[in-house]
Amino acid sequence: MKAIVIQTYGAPDGLAVVDLPVPAPAAGQVLIAVEAVGVGGVDAVIRSGALAAYGFTEGHIPGGEVAGTVTAVGDGVDASWIGRHVWAFTGTGGGYVEQAVAPVGEILPLPSGLSAIDAVTLGSSGVVAHFGLRRARFTPGETVLVRGAAGSIGITAVQLAARAGASAVAVTTSSAGRGERLRGLGATHVLERSGEGGADAPAGYDVIIDVVAGAHMPSFFDRLNPNGRMVAVGAVAGQPPADFGMKIMAAFRRSLSFGAFSAATVPPADRRAVRAEQFAGAARGEIETVVHEVLPLERAESAHRKMDAGEVFGRIVLTP
C-alpha cells in the first residue's frame, strides 16, 4: 500500500511517498480501507520536528483520523464490523495510508448522509471544540473569543459557542474575507490576529479559546474580563514564552484562569457520545463542515506547504 512517512523532520519536503505492506489488525483492532484522511495542525507540528522530545522519530507516518470501510478485524473484535462505513482515530500517527489500523474502541459508524470527507473534517476538531468550551466553563450569555478561528477546531468552536447562546463570538483571523466567512458561521465580531480591531467588539471576554499559542499568547490575558478563562486547545504557532504565567500573576486581583486542554484526557465513552451527536448534527445540516481542499494522498507535501503558509480555511483532506 501507499503511505506517507516523515523521512526528515523540518520542511514539508521531508515527507515522502513509500510502499509498505498492508498491516494486519492485531487483537482489538480493525483494518480500514481508507477513503479520506484529515490533515490536522498537529500533523504539521510533528512533521516540523517540534515534538521530537516526545518520542517521534523519522519514519513516522503522520495523521490521526481516517474514514472508510472496515475490511478485517483482529482477535476479539465482532466480525459484524466488516463492511461498515466508519470514522476512526488512529492515534498520534498512522493515518496517511491507503489501509489503516485502529482500535475498535476508537471507531464510530458514520450516519447516512455524512461523507467520509466531512467525517474527518469534524471528527477530531468537533470534540476538541466541545470539550474546550466545557473546560472553560462557558455558560450562555458570556462573551467568547476564538483565537485562530480559520482552522477546523476554531470553525467548530465558533459554531458551538453561537449555538449555545454566547452573547458575542469574536474571532481573530488574517483577512476580511475569512472574517466574513466566519460571520456566516456565527461570529459576531472580526478582529485582527493581534486582537485589535472591531470597533464595536466587547472590551473584554469571559472565555478565550486559543488554537494558536505562540509568542503572542500572553498578550491575550489582557483581553479577559475579571474571572475570565483562557483555554489553549492547540499550539500551531509553537509554545508560548516560558514566563507567560507572569501575566496572570500580575493581574492577580482579576482572578484570571489559564488551562491547557487535550482530548486525550476525556474518557473514550464521552468522546464517542459527543462525536456521534456531532456527526448526526452535521448529517442534518446543523453543523457545517468546511473543507478547504481535497488532494490525493500523494500530495501530502503540498497540503503541508499550504498549512505552513497559512493558506488553509477549514481542513485539507487527503484521499488515497
With cut-offs at 50, 70 and 90, classify the pLDDT of residue 38.
very high
Tell me the average pLDDT across 138-145.
98
Q: Answer whether residue 258 shows pLDDT above 90.
A: yes
pLDDT, tens digit (0-9, with 9 covering 90-100), for 100-113: 999 999 999 999 99
pLDDT, tens digit (0-9, with 9 covering 90-100), for 54-82: 888 889 999 999 999 999 999 999 999 99
Q: What percentage of the chain reaches a pLDDT higher than 70?
A: 100
One-letter amino acid of 55? G
Q: Name the pTM for this structure.
A: 0.94
With cut-offs at 50, 70 and 90, classify the pLDDT of residue 198.
confident
Q: Answer whether residue 262 shows pLDDT above 90.
A: yes
The 8-class DSSP code of residue 110 comes to: P
Q: If residue 240 lies in a helix (H) or strand (E), which one and from where to where?
A: none
Q: Answer for the pair 230, 255: CB distance below 8 angstroms, yes or no.
A: no
DSSP per-residue codes, the chain? -EEEEESSSSSGGGEEEEE-PPPPP-TTEEEEEEEEEEE-HHHHHHHHTTTGGGT--TT----SEEEEEEEEE-TTS-GGGTT-EEEEE--SS--SBSEEEEEGGGEEEPPTT--HHHHHHHHHHHHHHHHHHHHTT--TT-EEEEESTTBHHHHHHHHHHHHTT-SEEEEE-S-HHHHHHHHHTT-SEEE-TTS---TTS-SSEEEEEES--STTGGGGGGGEEEEEEEEE---TT-PPPTTTHHHHHHTGGG--EEEE--GGGS-HHHHHHHHHHHHHHHHTTSS---EEEEEEGGGHHHHHHHHHTT--SBEEEEE-
pLDDT at residue 57, rounded to an integer: 87
With cut-offs at 50, 70 and 90, classify the pLDDT of residue 117.
very high
Residue recorded with cell 475569512: 178
8: left (phi over 0), alpha (psi -120 to 50) or beta: beta
Tell me the average pLDDT across 268-295.
97
Q: Could you give the angle at which helices 268-283 and 116-135 cross, rounded to 10 degrees?
A: 120
* CA 308/CA 320 separation, integer angstroms: 22
Q: What rounded mean pLDDT belongs to the chain?
A: 96
Tell me the average pLDDT across 210-236.
96
